Amino acid sequence: MAHILVLFAHPAFEKSRIHARLINHIKHVQGVTFHDLYEAYPDFDINVKREQYLLTLHDIIIWQHPFYWYNAPALVKQWLDLVLEHGWAYGAKGRALAGKKVFNAISTGGTQAAYSKTGRNRFTITELLAPFDQTAHLCHMTYMPPFVVQGTHKLQTADIELHGLQYAQLLTALAHDRISFDEWKNVTYLNELVPIPQPIQS
């Protein structure tokens, strides 16, 4: 059994369509700790000791957030800056996070096609997430492919609900160690491990 920590960051959660539904589906999944960063630190005054303690209690960390300007909302950056201390998370003696798995669970307005060399965003999601990948690497963590909900502006409620089910199934599987390295190392998005019906293109 693996313990999962969802570090959730959304500065305007009350307006959220996607993440509100995703969270409804995963909040009560066994083994999942849900941690709402903007609710805990509205003043950006992060309690570093508490965050580090939370991290040590879990095996899989998820940064869940909307993908604003090809990155996470500001509080996630503040979190990275302050919590991943030299000598604790990285550096010669920093081994506190070694061996843990981490990935991003994000939503984007653009479709997967828009995030490609020929699309209007010119880079793939995987390329744009490189800073997170490298952060995990420096902290001796394993960076997994992201879970991504895309084309959100056109998604119907039913499709968002399906993504919610998909996310919950993924976390259930991860919590019970049902996904092996061989399975996830070859996928672009973790979504591929839990296929759902696609919206009919008209």
Partner 1 sequence: MDQQSLLFQAMVYLAAAVVMVPLAKKLGLGSVLGYLLAGVVIGPAVTGFIGNEGQDIMHFAEFGVVMMLFIIGLELEPKRLWKLRKSIAGLGTLQVLATGLAIAGLAMAFGLPWKQALALGMIMSLSSTAIVLQTLNEKGLMNTAAGQSSFSVLLFQDIAVIPMLALFPLLVNLPDTTATESGHTQATLVDHLSGWGKTLVVLVTVGMIILSGRFLVRPLFRVIAATKLREIFTATALLLVIGIAVLMMQVGLSPALGAFLAGVVLADSEYRHELESDIEPFKGLLLGLFFIAVGASIDFQLIVQEPGFIVGAVLVLMAIKGIVLIVLGKTFGLKRDQNLQFAVSLCQIGEFAFVLLSFSLQQHILPASVTDRLVAVVAISMALTPLMMLMNEQLVLPFVGARIRQHDNQREADAIEERNPVIVAGFGHFGNTVGRFLRANGVKATYLDNDSDRVELLRKMGFKIHYGDASRYDLLQAAGAEHAKVIVIAIDSPEKRLEMIETVKKHFSHLHMFVRARNRYDAYDLMNAGMLHVYRETIDTSLRLGQDVLSFLGYRAYKVHRAAQTFLKYDEQVLKELASIRDGDEYIIASRSHMEELDRLLQADQQKQFTELESGWGEESLIAEANKPSP
Q: Which of 48, 54, 96, 165 binds partner 1 (CB under 8 A)?
A: 48
Residue number with CB closer to partner 1 (54 or 165): 54
Name the DSSP letter for residue 97: T
Q: Is 198 helix (H, G, I), strand (E, B) or coil?
A: coil
Residues of this chain, 89-128, that bind partner 1 according to CB under 8 A: 91-92
Q: Which stretch binds partner 1 (CB under 8 A): 4-12, 21-29, 78-86, 168-176?
A: 78-86
Q: Euclidean distance between the first and final Cα of the chain, in Å?
A: 43
For residue 2, state whether it binds partner 1 (rule: CB under 8 A): no
Pairing, β 4-8 against β 142-143? unpaired
Is 67 or 88 the residue whose CB approaches partner 1 more closely? Answer: 88
Class of residue 15 by CB neighbours under 10 A (exposed 0-12, middle 13-18, buried 19+): exposed
42 belongs to the binding site for partner 1 (CB under 8 A):
no
Q: How far is the CB of 152 from partner 1 (least distance, A)?
A: 28
10 Å Cβ neighbour count for 72?
A: 23
Structure tokens at 154: 């056109």
Smaller CB distance to partner 1: residue 83 or 168?
A: 83
Give the residues lining the site for partner 1 (CB under 8 A).
Answer: 43, 45, 48, 81-87, 91-92
